[in-house]
Amino acid sequence: MPTEWKSEHKLFPYQVGFTCPPHDWDAAPSDFSRVCPESVGVHGWMMHVPEYRHQLTQRNDKFNILDDFVHCMANNGADVCAQVGSNWVHASGLGVEGIKDFCQSLQDKHGVPLHMAGYAMVEALRSMNVEKVAINAVYHWPDWWSGTAAFLEEAGFDVVWAGNFADQGWFDTQQQVNDCRWVFDGDLALKSFEYVATQAPDADAYLGLGMCNFRSGENGLPQRILHLTSMLEDALGKMVIAHDTALYWRVFKSLSLKPNGNYGKLLSSL
């Protein structure tokens, strides 16, 4: 095996590796590859954490698994690594600057940059000169979205409103939200963001957390906010940034590339 991947040995001029949290089939590799130039290849790496139950403490306990991820991707010729799972940054307890330092340390160690979804959101908001945000916490448990809100506040943003689908009144209980397993009716995307906009009309941007899916595609195919961002921004008259679009934006930025098509103001800024 080569100690260093030369361009003539790579299958694609640009190669990106994505993680997937345990027990989740992740749409990020497929979504990212669909909006990329043909010169980009995408690989997925599913974390192995036995008995995973989506607890924040499990993310903290297994945080260093990201070292294995970047190591494996670097060995296989990746140019950029992208971590899916927005709650890992605040679950780590490292804080905003600590996460920045952690990502830099892995880049120094393995020679490949790592971008984490939760920190990519911070970088995206700073790049777009956003100050006030309102959070559509979608399916996230209260300790999940409150942790994200605190992380954003630590980064210097004014979180003027936050709440999930249960807080917004679309479901009676959090358990009903959980039972949907991250996939919701197609019309809930616009309805939920319109609700958030009503609660926080003065926000600079409306944020969508995590990797929520809506049955808004052809024949009810689940779609993430990436595919809905332009529609949402047209309806709300404000910027909409989700963790999936923020992560893709950061990866494109590292590659000095831009996506094919229009996926909202953030990605169009590249």
- Tell me, yes or no, whether 3 lies in a domain: no
Do residues 25 and 65 both lie within one domain? yes
Do residues 169 and 132 both lie within one domain? yes
Distance CA 168, CA 248 (A): 28
Predicted pLDDT of residue 2: 64
Do residues 158 and 175 both lie within one domain? yes
Question: What tokens appear for 18 in the block?
Answer: 């994505």
Share of the chain above pLDDT 70, in %: 96
Do residues 145 and 233 both lie within one domain? yes
- Tell me, yes or no, whether 180 lies in a domain: yes
Per the structure, the count of domains in the chain is 2
Place of tokens 């934006």: 249
Do residues 89 and 158 both lie within one domain? no
The average pLDDT across 66-95 equals 94
The average pLDDT across 76-99 equals 95
Do residues 58 and 17 both lie within one domain? yes
Is the per-residue pLDDT at 81 higher than 70?
yes
The average pLDDT across 173-193 equals 96
Predicted pLDDT of residue 5: 80
Which residues, listed in sequence order, are joined to residue 158 by a DSSP beta bridge? 132
Do residues 36 and 89 both lie within one domain? yes
Do residues 132 and 227 both lie within one domain? yes
- Tell me, yes or no, whether 61 lies in a domain: yes
Is the per-residue pLDDT at 204 higher than 90?
yes
State phi, psi for 250 to the nearest 5 degrees.
-70, -35
Q: Which domain holds residue 41?
A: 12-120+246-268
Distance CA 202, CA 225 (A): 22
- Tell me, yes or no, whether 132 lies in a domain: yes
- Tell me, yes or no, whether 1 lies in a domain: no
44-48, 190-194, 214-218: segment of lowest average pLDDT: 44-48
Do residues 20 and 64 both lie within one domain? yes
CATH number, domain of 228, equals: 3.40.50.12500
Read off the pLDDT of residues 5-54 as tens digits, 9 standing for 90 and up.
888 889 999 999 999 888 788 999 999 999 999 999 999 998 887 776 67
Read off the pLDDT of residues 111-164 as tens digits, 9 standing for 90 and up.
999 999 999 999 999 999 999 999 999 999 999 999 999 999 999 999 999 999
Do residues 22 and 115 both lie within one domain? yes
**Longest CA–CA separation in the chain, Å:** 57
At residue 59 the predicted structure's pLDDT band, cuts being 50, 70 and 90, is low
DSSP readout, the chain?
A: --SS--GGG-SSSEEEEEEE-TT---SHHHHHHHHS-TTEEEEEEE---TT----HHHHHHTTTHHHHHHHHHHHTT-SEEEE--TTHHHHTT-HHHHHHHHHHHHHHHHSS-EEEHHHHHHHHHHHTT--EEEEE-TT--HHHHHHHHHHHHHTT-EEEEEE-TTTTTSSSSHHHHHHTTTEEETTHHHHHHHHHHHH-TT-SEEEE-TT-EEE-SGGG--EEGGGGHHHHHHHHSSEEEEHHHHHHHHHHHHHT---SS---HHHHT-
Predicted pLDDT of residue 51: 78
**Average model confidence (pLDDT) across the chain:** 94
At residue 60 the predicted structure's pLDDT band, cuts being 50, 70 and 90, is low
- Tell me, yes or no, whether 69 lies in a domain: yes
- Tell me, yes or no, whether 207 lies in a domain: yes
